[in-house]
Amino acid sequence: MSTRTKKQAVVEAAVETSTHPPATPIRVSRDNLAAGMSQVKPVIGRGALYALSHVLLEAEGEQLRLTGTNLSIWISAVVPIQGSDAAWKLAVPAHTLDEVLRVLPPESVLTATLEEGNQMRLTTDRTTTHLKGLPADDFPLMPSLTPAQQVALPAAAWNQCLAQVLPAVAKDDGRPVLTNLNLETDDGGLLLTATDAMRLARTRQPLSLTQDVACLLSRQTAQLLTRVGAKHEGDVLFALDEAQNQLFTVGGTVIFAAGSEGSFPNVMPIVDSAMTNVASTVTLAREPLAQALRLVGVMMPSSKQMAVQFEDEGSELKLWANDAEVGDTQQVMPAQIAGPGLKLVLNGDYLRDAVAACVGESVVLRASPSPKAPIICGGDDMDAGYHLIMPMVDHA
């Protein structure tokens, strides 16, 4: 009676394993893979799940899909590969992969091979690196979405809208709803509003949208869309389900964002009051004003206070700031002024953000007679976007 030895068992297991061909290696440009990582890594970090520090790699055909998530947002990007019959999945540590790509020479080509034990081998002409990963099943899947509304937004108009209102989105969680911007359609156009309670930004793009859409868009989602859509020239496809979950498709990149709770405050009484009470307008060239604000900003590192003054029907706008430890500066800008003069103190960072968001060659400041009322900063076309900025108490 024959008995199988331990050595025979190992040999038989090896033979059995060899009947299953290994996953097809893929060849991918280091630069393309690094670009894909740059899109997904903003949502990757350390969370309650170990898998959240990983990026999911899915090779299929002639593309490699990379997915990252923080369980509130999923982002998935594709990069081209060589290896037309490749079909495998693996989650690998995102930080480690990103660091490997950072130190590899630009324009190098990597061969990625899936190995036993949830391991991936990366090779170049001179290097071989093994990354220990997790089974793809351990990585949280991107939720599916059944659209209740969906629209196609021209990328250029969409990016311009985001750039104009993003600075005004609240950065702290004191009022969670203000960490979102409000998105809605208005007579076929797109209307975006954001506020942190000390400033408000609003913009409208006249489009020909055929469906009404309304939702809260988180600051992080908007920032991701700005990064991803910066060079995109087509449409941004936007779908929304009944639970306010959002799905954005920008070329080959897909972003899923869980819906935000709460209702955005009604800002129209503040806007209407500010618009109705305008008594003075100050028109300036945008680029010289932006440069002056940058210089004034150097002298207000802690207080953020910047004084703004103009005279009745005058021709100059004065900006100045001082700091007990840094020093002081004053800037005089040529301006076209209509209406009574005014002196008020603003947060210089807020005014700088508002000027940067203006469209066109000119900036128009609109003010009421009261130094305690908000000042409006925008271009000649108010629909293109404007900021309302509340004055500060002068502690100088």
Per-residue pLDDT of the chain (396 residues; tens, 9 = 90+): 444 454 444 334 333 433 345 678 999 999 999 999 999 999 998 778 999 999 999 999 899 999 999 999 999 999 999 877 888 999 999 999 999 999 999 999 999 999 999 999 999 999 999 999 999 999 999 999 999 999 999 999 999 999 999 999 999 888 999 999 999 988 888 999 999 999 999 999 888 888 888 999 999 999 999 999 988 999 999 999 999 999 999 999 999 999 998 999 999 999 999 999 999 999 999 999 999 999 998 888 777 899 999 999 989 999 999 888 888 999 999 999 999 999 999 999 999 999 999 988 999 999 999 889 999 999 888 878 999 999 997 644
The Cα 255–Cα 70 span in angstroms is 12
The Cα 334–Cα 330 span in angstroms is 13
Q: Which fold has domain 268-389?
A: DNA Polymerase III; Chain A, domain 2 (3.10.150)
By C-alpha distance, which of 156, 201, 152, 198 is closest to 181?
201
**Domain range 20-138, its CATH number among 3.40.47.10, 3.90.420.10, 3.10.150.10, 1.10.10.10:** 3.10.150.10
- pLDDT for res 395: 47
The Cα 317–Cα 333 span in angstroms is 5
The Cα 358–Cα 29 span in angstroms is 39
- pLDDT for res 94: 97
* CB contact at 8 A, 334 and 314: no
- pLDDT for res 251: 94
Q: Where in the sequence of the chain do the CATH 3.10.150.10 domains occur?
A: 20-138, 149-257, 268-389
E-strand ranges in 117-195 read 119-123, 128-132, 149-154, 180-186, 189-195
pTM of the model: 0.87
Burial environment of residue 287 by CB neighbours within 10 A (0 to 12, 13 to 18, 19 or more): exposed
308 bridge partner residues: 319, 344
- pLDDT for res 22: 61
- pLDDT for res 3: 47
The CATH code of domain 149-257 reads: 3.10.150.10
Q: Which amino acid is at 52?
A: L
What the block records as the tokens of 303 is 């207080």
